[in-house]
Amino acid sequence: MKLLSQLIFSGLIASSFWACSPEEQHQYYAEIETDNFISQNFIGNGIQWAAYPHADGPDAEWGDIITPAKWDTLYQRLDYMQPQTMRVLDQANWRYYKGRDKQGNPIFDVDNPEMKTLYKVLDYCQSRNVDVVFGEWGTPFHMHDLETKNAKINRLENAYDPQWIEMIGKYVEHLIKEKGYTCIKYYNHINEPNGDWASTNGDYSEWKQGVIDLQKEFEKRGLDQYLTITGPGTVPQYTKKGFEYTGEDWVTKTIADIDTIIGAYEIHTYLGTENTRNGKAAASMHMLKDMPEVKKTGKRFFVGEIGVKDDWGTKQQELNVEAAKKDGYASIYDSQMAVYTYQYGVDMTDAVIQLMNAGAQGMIAWDLDDAMHTKDDLGKINQLKRWGCWNILGSELIDRPEDENIRPWYYPWSWLCKFFPKGMDILNMNSNLPEGVRMTTGKLRNNFTIMMVNNSATPQEVFVKAPVKKSTVLKQLKYTDEQYKLNTDMGRPVLDDINFDLKEGGLVQLPAHAVIVLSSL
């Protein structure tokens, strides 16, 4: 009888324990709210991939040096990443604008080696169902290629120059209707137009008129059924002096003036290390101001360029400049040497989780490959923009074959792409998380993905659960310092079975400075 009483008492204790809510059982917890959405119909995360303007043909600065084997390597690495979006920007004179004829009219030409290199990029996107954000850096011969032959003669006037607008229309029509690249879903008209580095030189009115005229050109050619214009594509943290508006005003001005044209809203951001690690990424780029206004439009919002980079004058930036100088081939003031480190993968994941939780519906990393761009795009091999997942031309350009290896941050970025596919809904949660720990959750039909980051020096554990109706088994991937080292063969890791059922919930162990993926995909 005594034994029976003990068993009954033990059973009551156990049942009362499991009846408790997660917050009563565990100091740190996250209960996912499966029908409470932060955002719906996720655009997807992706990466910037240029068509190698310095190596896109025999007349390029480096020549036609990307071999078929190198293209195969790029394709294989991207197949593991599974980017949902790809941003592909060019200059008109790098592809289709070949100067002026004797009458002064623009020469439009799409039968050249440079176009064939672009086709290799778009072929990949079309065959893998990757949505492309397409566009041009700026008005030809305003900020790029100023020292080239006939630059002054070939220069076009502004963002709404009718000759340029017509050529863009012909170009996009060729790509979509003639070549069949229906993967092109969005168009960027001028990169970061609020900057003094842009061809618009911070002039909102010029950019707006260009967008209006370009939309008319797309409609005239029937292209509006294939793609929409995104914008403003600005850097909210930057304000050009001399205008009555600030960098953070561009989104709301665009909504007020041309919402009927804009298909999706987009900005760029390069986040400071401390703002990222302290959980202030969204606030530092003014997203908390923009998102309520964007939501009123019913349109989606994404970040067209994202990276982690510290402001001038900070200790982190001074160290970055020193590392770039030591490298010998980096563009000293436009490189992020942390891409060689394990920690950059943690910081980028942390930033993206914060922005997804603030409502961003996709992030495009800057960028895929060091071999794409140089300082001012002059093609000098000692001024590579070091931001990539690798330098595919490490052997050919700088006699460093190890530079072609995959860098650690490629792995968590790949998981942000492949495990948060387009169409997902991003969910709210009731949570109490440790300092330095962030988490986001996506749902696609009956599948779930949870991404967690511990950007602190202390190992943590969090109890995670969701009120799903049936057993939902999640598998796991881990990004930890001892596993992901530079210049080591890290393979193509896959999800491991850890006996985790989202319905029952369980403790997730988070090593210091680590990324954890739990997914049923």
The per-residue pLDDT for range 384-413, each reduced to its tens digit, is: 999 999 999 999 999 999 999 999 999 999
What band does 21 get if pLDDT is binned at 50, 70 and 90? low
CA angle 440, 442, 448 (to 5 degrees): 115
pLDDT tens per residue across span 356-384: 999 999 999 999 999 999 999 999 999 99
Tell whether the model's pLDDT for residue 13 goes beyond 60.
Answer: no
What are 470's two structure tokens? 């049936």
A 10 A CB-CB count for 35 gives: 9
Tell whether the model's pLDDT for residue 463 goes beyond 90.
Answer: yes
Q: Is the peptide bond before 59 cis (omega within 30 degrees of 0)?
A: no
Cα–Cα dist 24/497, whole Å: 28
Nearest-CA neighbor of 66 among 118, 134, 133, 125? 118
Quote the pLDDT of residue 419: 99
8 A C-beta contact, residue 117 and residue 372: no
What are 380's two structure tokens? 């000098």
What average pLDDT does range 259-264 have in this prediction?
98
pTM, entire model: 0.94
What average pLDDT does range 461-471 have in this prediction?
97
Tell whether the model's pLDDT for residue 24 goes beyond 70.
Answer: no
Architecture field, domain 21-40+423-519: Sandwich (2.60)
What are 155's two structure tokens? 């220069």
Cα–Cα dist 425/43, whole Å: 10
Give the CATH class of 46-418: alpha beta
pLDDT tens per residue across span 60-101: 999 999 999 999 999 999 999 999 999 999 999 999 999 999
8 A C-beta contact, residue 277 and residue 350: yes
Listed in order, the ranges of the chain carrying CATH 2.60.40.1180 are 21-40+423-519
What band does 1 get if pLDDT is binned at 50, 70 and 90? very low
Tell whether the model's pLDDT for residue 12 goes beyond 90.
Answer: no
Listed in order, the ranges of the chain carrying CATH 3.20.20.80 are 46-418
Cα–Cα dist 372/339, whole Å: 15
Distances (CA, A) of 435 to 22, 28, 33, 186: 18, 10, 22, 38
Mean pLDDT taken over the chain: 95
DSSP class per residue in 270-294: EE-HHHHHTT-HHHHTTHHHHHHHH
pLDDT tens per residue across span 164-215: 999 999 999 999 999 999 999 999 999 999 999 999 999 999 999 999 999 9
What are 22's two structure tokens? 């997660």
Nearest-CA neighbor of 187 among 162, 224, 221, 151? 224
What average pLDDT does range 233-254 have in this prediction?
94
Cα–Cα dist 481/344, whole Å: 11
8 A C-beta contact, residue 387 and residue 49: no
What are 240's two structure tokens? 């050009």
Coil vs helix vs strand at 471: coil
Quote the pLDDT of residue 121: 99
What band does 22 get if pLDDT is binned at 50, 70 and 90? low
